[in-house]
Structure 1
Amino acid sequence: MITPTQSMTQPYAQTQSGTQSQTSALTSDFETFLLLMTTQAQNQDPLEPMDSSEYASQLAQFSMVEQQVQTNDLLAGLSQGSVNLEELASWVGMDVRTAGEFHFDGTPETLFAQADPAAEDASIVIRGGDGTVIDRVAVPTTATEFTWAGTDSDGSPLPAGTYSATLESYDGEELLSEQLVSVYNQVIEAQVVDDTILLTLESGQVVPAGTVTAVRTGA
């Protein structure tokens, strides 16, 4: 059984902000110090060369500045890594809305989809994890949110498991479009692969974070 429902969920967006380090300024000072020291060495009077103790002091200062630049670069890298870990951790446990399979746990499931604007009729088709059609239900073309009770065409309760649903749009007998409905799944793992955040969902799917259209607090 599938019934149209009114949307009560507001998309949730996350924003991030950051600040730039002062490494570039320190690097500039380091380069300026190196240039001055080199120029001083090149233009010293051969008859009155620079005092060795003064030269050693400048070398020590040079070494200290160089170490500070390297330390700042290392800290900047560690800071960036921490931000990535915090971002990954923020996904885990959240419910995200994506198009694809969903995990049915025995409670009614909310499905999101919109029929083709030119459609005269629309139907939602429920499939099991193996792709077998379980139920086909006519729905209003103007509805965008539906509640699936988790039953087959005879009204018998279905077992918990992985399911999928598509919304078919028709103009008479002509199939205009067929699209996967979107559902909420809980994120059980988040990882970075080739600079892309991949989310592993409770349904078993792995989806890029960029395909998520809404986020809400996990149950």
Structure 2
Amino acid sequence: MTEISQTTSAATSAAATQTANQTTTASAISSDFETFLKMLTAQMQNQDPMNPIESTDYAVQLATFSSVEQQVQTNTLITALSDQLGVIGMSQTASWVGMEVKSDAPAYFDGDPVSLSVTPNASADASYLLVRNSAGTEIQRVAIDPTESEVSWSGMDKDGYAFPNGRYSFAVENHANGAYLSSAGAMTYTEVVEARRDGGDITLILNGGGEISADEVQSLREAL
């Protein structure tokens, strides 16, 4: 709960800073317009009486300045809207801290079984769960039911000893009649320990130090 409060506070502070910047921009536009009117008035006062400037030229100058002014204001509003949406998204995503997200990121093994979500291959009659360590080396190959969509990795080797704590990635290899069919990644459920805003993106810090974008999350659930 402390982490969520701190994150939301930071987002609110960012919004306040953006509001101050918008006020400064608006003041600058107003000041520039006053300067433009003074220059236009001076131009009218000092024009050649024998060759006065056409009124249409003044209209063009006014229209040009007005167009630029409107564009600046539009850009400011778009930026403000984008930042505000980012603040809202950050505030909502911060509530994910302490929950488990499903993604294709490696899972952190700490001695407890790791829950995995896999996509069955209807043509397969045999499937194997491939386990790789943080270096990408395959450390285990376990037969699983090819029709199951949810499996659990115990984290034990063939002799019944637990693998070292750390981050592991998973994939499923499918076979039919002894021949290789296909391979697919396995989704893992990992607890979120921090939500961080990086520019316009929101990054989730996972248990064990992994990082993913909030856009990579497939689903969300209460921590088991």
Q: TM-score, normalised by structure 1?
A: 0.58
Distance in 2, Cα, partners of 1:205 & 1:77: 27
Q: Which segments of 5 or more consecutive residues in structure 2 lack a partner in the other structure?
A: 1-76
Distance in 2, Cα, partners of 1:100 & 1:84: 22
Across the aligned residues of Structure 1 and Structure 2, the Cα RMSD in angstroms comes to 2.8
Distance in 2, Cα, partners of 1:215 & 1:84: 16
1:9-158 alignment runs, 5 A limit: 80=85, 82-158=87-163
132-141 vs 204-213, greater mean Cα deviation: 204-213
- Evaluate the alpha carbon distance shift between residue 76 and residue 181 of structure 1 in structure 2; reply closer, same or farther with a 3 A threshold: closer
Q: CA deviation at 1:177?
A: 1.8
For residue 116 of structure 1, what is the amino acid of its counterpart?
N
Match of 2:115, SS state, is strand
Render the CA deviation track for 1:27-56: whole Å, top value 9, x for unaligned. Answer: xxxxxxxxxxxxxxxxxxxxxxxxxxxxxx
CA contact (8 A) 1:136 1:153 kept: no
1:180-199 alignment runs, 5 A limit: 180-193=185-198, 195-199=200-204
Residues 1:161 and 2:166 are matched in the alignment? yes
Higher relative contact order (CA 8 A, sep 6+): 1
Match of 1:122, SS state, is strand
Distance in 2, Cα, partners of 1:81 & 1:135: 42
Match of 1:90, SS state, is helix
Distance in 1, Cα, partners of 2:152 & 2:174: 18
Match of 2:124, SS state, is coil
- Evaluate the alpha carbon distance shift between residue 120 and residue 192 of structure 1 in structure 2; reply closer, same or farther with a 3 A threshold: same
CA contact (8 A) 1:125 1:165 kept: yes
Q: How many residues align?
A: 148
- Evaluate the alpha carbon distance shift between residue 143 and residue 195 of structure 1 in structure 2; reply closer, same or farther with a 3 A threshold: same
Distance in 2, Cα, partners of 1:187 & 1:84: 16
- Evaluate the alpha carbon distance shift between residue 85 and residue 137 of structure 1 in structure 2; reply closer, same or farther with a 3 A threshold: closer
Q: CA deviation at 1:124?
A: 0.6
Judging by fraction of residues, say which structure has more helix. 2
Q: CA deviation at 1:191?
A: 2.9
Q: CA deviation at 1:106?
A: 0.6
- Evaluate the alpha carbon distance shift between residue 100 and residue 85 of structure 1 in structure 2; reply closer, same or farther with a 3 A threshold: closer
- Evaluate the alpha carbon distance shift between residue 116 and residue 77 of structure 1 in structure 2; reply closer, same or farther with a 3 A threshold: closer
Q: CA deviation at 1:80?
A: 4.7
For residue 115 of structure 2, what is the amino acid of its counterpart?
T
Q: Which segments of 5 or more consecutive residues in structure 1 lack a partner in the other structure?
A: 1-71
Q: TM-score, normalised by structure 2?
A: 0.57
Q: CA deviation at 1:154?
A: 2.4
Q: CA deviation at 1:189?
A: 2.5
